[in-house]
Structure 1
């Protein structure tokens, strides 16, 4: 195991001249306050929040352990650039990507028109808050089946320059540089990040640069304009998954063929969005966003080379109106969203075996397709206060998705060129909330969602699109209870839900590391989630905030027959039936902070027959932080941390339904990182 001690040094040379009120420390860090407990209490039962302080409690390379604090979410990470997220079992069967949920940055969609989302390459220092809506209740964001993850950007009413250097085990090196300017009616934040890692496995080097711009201009007292832009350049090698023997005996090795081919992915990805918001009178609020995104990707794999280019443009608008409905306080939110993506997908031979050990060698073209995919969504929600203790929310969304295929490689008789579409769907949502008292309330909801097949799921083993795949459609039924206790020092929440999904999209393995998507019957998703958070203050020098979150689920295949074999009644593949996160956030005096977190996961079935499982595990992360002033306007922050403190051996991600070829074991398991260390030093200069 490759580890090293941490020596931190730092040089900062950013100067920006601007008068500003005097401050003697970095931005004050506060643990969860009663205001944040109140925010969680007022939110709907399936909505969770993470603030930036929580996101940065790990080593800034991944959001995975932090996102897994939220009950009902399971994010797997095979490497820095190999992640997938499922929410309440939706998306569990994805192989190497996140789909079936929608991802937004402020009011700008980051998901593609087919539902694919990339979260792992967004630098955590550019996110001020994460909001997660679980299941298909997010009517105001359209038609997602799994849910919505909304990221809020960092933009502060303060002028400062900040730089940070972070180093860690496995040659981890990360540099952050940020400039935030606030002057009159204008605010701007510029951030540059550079992250590199050697990885603890063979063929796992990683390099990422990201450039981020967020600006806001108050045009008047009632209107403002926001510009957001981000460019990411990434190259990450892929060690791929291992069979059980290699996973247990030598987890640092790469899968043989991926090591021989030196497989990797590289891409440049960018998004630019302009959002205009204005207040009309005292009761009408409007937001209009226009945006574009690009992605140019190249991925040499042992079995072929995949080249993808994607360009998207879109528009999103919402209008909120507060009014009286028959004497009842009401709010109407209506809007729509349009997104059009142009996908160019080509595959080539990979002749790495003829390249004398130098890795990838591009050969002849195997396929060359263009797909233009677009959706138009409309949505409306009506919130009505029926009585002092009773609120009702009615929602309805509709989605129409269509696509065009231009087959530039196949012969005319085999060409798929043509126009295709999915049936228009209507997605109702009903939520009722009743306040038992000022500190207790219950809620109940019924909602419907759907998800279309992604481009990768639609590609057959011959590299052509399967136009016969149907979208997944599901109904979700949920009840919840929330309460605040002991003068808002304790917050508790419990939810029970049941979701049934038809036209289940699963991956059938057709060759080593190759999968095709198929519709395979239906699944049921019953589960229970709970959350307990506390605020404990001892005099003025010690603040303790323990928490305990967990979920129990009983997901299974209702009807699932694949190639004549029935898996009906088996547990859903790729999802743990039990998941817990507990820990402690502590503040000692004004300068010392301690964060301790443990994630525990039960065993996971890795094949549909439920004959193979990834073993249960629990790993712990710990971080210490010290903040101190240097000069009147210059302050510093020092961090030391340790991930997987007890050196647990576990599978951080799995490949469902792996099949062994040529007498080899099925490669189900991505090894999780062993114990590793990190540390950082940051300087902040306030003008």
Structure 2
């Protein structure tokens, strides 16, 4: 048996790191001492895994009698150390051609852990709204203009499967925060490789490996009757393993009639059939119920911001949704040049939505997948990578609309079979013309079709069959990166994008079918600079997006949200992120002080828009804040105590196309304090507490745009508090 002396260092400062958990395959775990050192006795080559709250996880194979200096990368590290997949090409962020933000697991956990909203909203160019608990609306560069509810105009992936339904909507609210570990967000059109969606792409992952046997439990409470608990287990099996978790979250809600009850179960199996293959399968089941309090007018907001819209309680305005996903992902390296990754899914959903005006029931079934081949080679003196593949989705929904009699389904009004098919092929070439110049050329061919078969119509119209086929659309992109150094680079791109109307926009709740609604088409020009200089990481992007056939919303006198094409919009903007560590030393009481600033300047206007005889050309784009600023402060101590402080400024937001009604600007301030530590080598524990909206600002976290009867406002919670405990055991 050989003895190994392992010293663990900070990669940037070369200071030793105490308190690092060292997981040793086949042996008990150890923790590095005050000098960052562990002494092991290995008799075979052994895989060691290193983890620390302030550093990226790291694994390495160590031989008997081999001494090692292990360099760990700080969790806020220089941009050349942050690797992103981006446009299906794994590169350091500093040399990626595109506006990409990364949301890590530890960033999700610096807030209240009840939703992804707070962490996503710290990133420039991204805004997540929650008009009611679990009723998400995501805007990337203003893409929520056409999203009265749900997530649209943004393509979402989860563990490589297309999580956005074939009809263009995304039920992001069925996921719990524990189902996410790493998220990448591409801002702006990415249709050359990801298909429809002018807003951008969100790619989310849960953990794909099992490195140890581990039991975990979380328990959290908060104002408004908040209760959340989670149970999880990881079981290593050979080169793979199984992990499972169950989460139950419920609350009474800040407003009248805004309760939430969500249960999520996830089971994953990971294996390595060979040294060149990995195989993962997942089951996700979500049971979600939440009430919809509805929007208020200014007088109602002034009277009592916690009240529900009149009629919401009597009609039981709410959503109940049960969803089951089954997924299968496979990766294989054929040789040193070729590899393939394929992900397949099948999904069923039961959806029930009593609303003030009607009662909707849906039963949906869908399946689909994505497959990608990558080829890496050298053409003469030029390194190249070719990526090619395709994606296909099919969905069928039985959608029925009834009258609503005091929260119960009454007489059926109409019933439709909704059949949606979408597919696209994509190709991309990356070529390094020199050691400093990288060029990317990509394009996709997109196909789509809606079939709306009306089987029951209680009105004067007979049953009918309606089909809308979108002509094949070619979406190109060209991008360049110039590597100024290993730590800096400039990038630029021109990309086309398109976004067809969702089937929920073509077929509305009041029964009309608008087959004349056109797909949005746009072209995006973008340039950016990324650099590390000293302790600073800077990421700056400027863009101009010209969008034609813009789809906007309006509400008729019955309160039904309808859609129309509204000419063109000009969208100019800048997005800036600056982060730095004012202090970092693992051997002092205060080990780290970090700051991050994120500024978003979105100066979006209607370029050509007339409605009802009014010319709104030149007006600010509805629902978009022109300026937002986020400031983050994180302090961590050697004893395990930490403090997170967050400030967010949001500028005034126009709520109607005429720009006669605005939501006032506001400042949100929140903080979380806690203590986390590893006790021995087996137990992890964390205790935390925090507060949101410490200034008790009156604001809407998601407004109704162009609202009938001036019901614009969906009031967000006032000052509120939360706390919890987490316990983990290695066995």
- 1:305 counterpart residue number: 359
Change (3 A) 1:180 1:224: same
From 100, 103, 106, the counterpart of 2:153: 100
- SS across alignment from 2:525: strand
- SS across alignment from 2:313: helix
Offset at residue 99 of structure 1 (A): 0.2
From 122, 125, 131, the counterpart of 2:175: 122
Offset at residue 159 of structure 1 (A): 1.4
- 1:514 counterpart residue number: 560
The separation in 2 between residues aligned to 1:233 and 1:416, in whole angstroms, is 34
Change (3 A) 1:432 1:631: closer
- 1:74 counterpart residue number: 127
From 43, 48, 55, the counterpart of 2:108: 55
C-alpha contact 2:162 2:369 (8 A) present in aligned 1: no
From 658, 671, 675, the counterpart of 2:715: 671
- 2:428 counterpart residue number: 381
Offset at residue 419 of structure 1 (A): 3.3
How do 1:11-410 and structure 2 match up within 5 A?
A: 21-23=28-30, 28-30=52-54, 32-34=75-77, 38-39=81-82, 40-137=93-190, 139-154=192-207, 155-352=209-406, 360-410=407-457
C-alpha contact 2:347 2:365 (8 A) present in aligned 1: yes
The separation in 1 between residues aligned to 2:80 and 2:634, in whole angstroms, is 15
- 1:483 counterpart residue number: 531
C-alpha contact 1:317 1:337 (8 A) present in aligned 2: yes
Offset at residue 125 of structure 1 (A): 1.4
- 1:655 counterpart residue number: 704
- 1:435 counterpart residue number: 483
From 421, 436, 441, the counterpart of 2:469: 421
C-alpha contact 2:490 2:527 (8 A) present in aligned 1: yes
C-alpha contact 2:389 2:426 (8 A) present in aligned 1: yes
- SS across alignment from 2:118: helix
- 2:46 counterpart residue number: none
Range 143-152 or range 20-29, more displaced: 20-29
Offset at residue 367 of structure 1 (A): 1.0
C-alpha contact 1:65 1:599 (8 A) present in aligned 2: no
Change (3 A) 1:107 1:539: closer
1:556 aligned onto 2:605: yes
C-alpha contact 2:191 2:475 (8 A) present in aligned 1: no
**Higher relative CO (CA 8 A, sep ≥ 6), structure 1 or 2?**
1
How do 1:617-632 and structure 2 match up within 5 A?
A: 617-630=666-679, 632=681
Offset at residue 139 of structure 1 (A): 2.9
1:447-483: per-residue Cα shift (whole Å, max 9, x none)? 0111111122112464132111111111000000111
The separation in 2 between residues aligned to 1:115 and 1:482, in whole angstroms, is 33
Offset at residue 282 of structure 1 (A): 0.7
Offset at residue 19 of structure 1 (A): 6.5
Offset at residue 499 of structure 1 (A): 0.6
The separation in 2 between residues aligned to 1:20 and 1:650, in whole angstroms, is 54
Offset at residue 438 of structure 1 (A): 2.9
Normalising by structure 1, we get a TM-score of 0.92
Change (3 A) 1:654 1:413: closer
Offset at residue 633 of structure 1 (A): 1.9
Q: Structure 1: 5+ residue runs without aligned partners?
A: 1-17, 353-359, 661-665
Normalising by structure 2, we get a TM-score of 0.87
Offset at residue 506 of structure 1 (A): 1.2
The separation in 1 between residues aligned to 2:27 and 2:258, in whole angstroms, is 45
1:483-526: per-residue Cα shift (whole Å, max 9, x none)? 1111xx21001111011111111112113431111111111111
C-alpha contact 1:138 1:148 (8 A) present in aligned 2: no
The separation in 1 between residues aligned to 2:158 and 2:333, in whole angstroms, is 21
The separation in 2 between residues aligned to 1:137 and 1:44, in whole angstroms, is 12
1:686 aligned onto 2:730: yes
Offset at residue 161 of structure 1 (A): 0.5
The separation in 1 between residues aligned to 2:136 and 2:178, in whole angstroms, is 19
C-alpha contact 1:207 1:235 (8 A) present in aligned 2: yes
The separation in 1 between residues aligned to 2:200 and 2:382, in whole angstroms, is 30
Change (3 A) 1:435 1:27: closer
From 597, 604, 614, the counterpart of 2:653: 604
Offset at residue 587 of structure 1 (A): 1.4
1:543 aligned onto 2:592: yes
Change (3 A) 1:369 1:382: same
The separation in 1 between residues aligned to 2:231 and 2:95, in whole angstroms, is 36
1:228-250: per-residue Cα shift (whole Å, max 9, x none)? 22110011011111111222331
C-alpha contact 2:145 2:553 (8 A) present in aligned 1: no
Offset at residue 23 of structure 1 (A): 4.8
The separation in 1 between residues aligned to 2:330 and 2:607, in whole angstroms, is 46
C-alpha contact 2:190 2:201 (8 A) present in aligned 1: no
C-alpha contact 1:459 1:517 (8 A) present in aligned 2: no
The separation in 1 between residues aligned to 2:316 and 2:27, in whole angstroms, is 52
- 2:578 counterpart residue number: 532
The separation in 2 between residues aligned to 1:455 and 1:587, in whole angstroms, is 48
C-alpha contact 2:96 2:491 (8 A) present in aligned 1: no
C-alpha contact 2:593 2:635 (8 A) present in aligned 1: yes
The separation in 1 between residues aligned to 2:105 and 2:416, in whole angstroms, is 41
From 475, 485, 497, the counterpart of 1:449: 497
The separation in 2 between residues aligned to 1:148 and 1:632, in whole angstroms, is 39
The RMSD of aligned alpha carbons is 1.9
- Size of the alignment, in residue pairs? 656
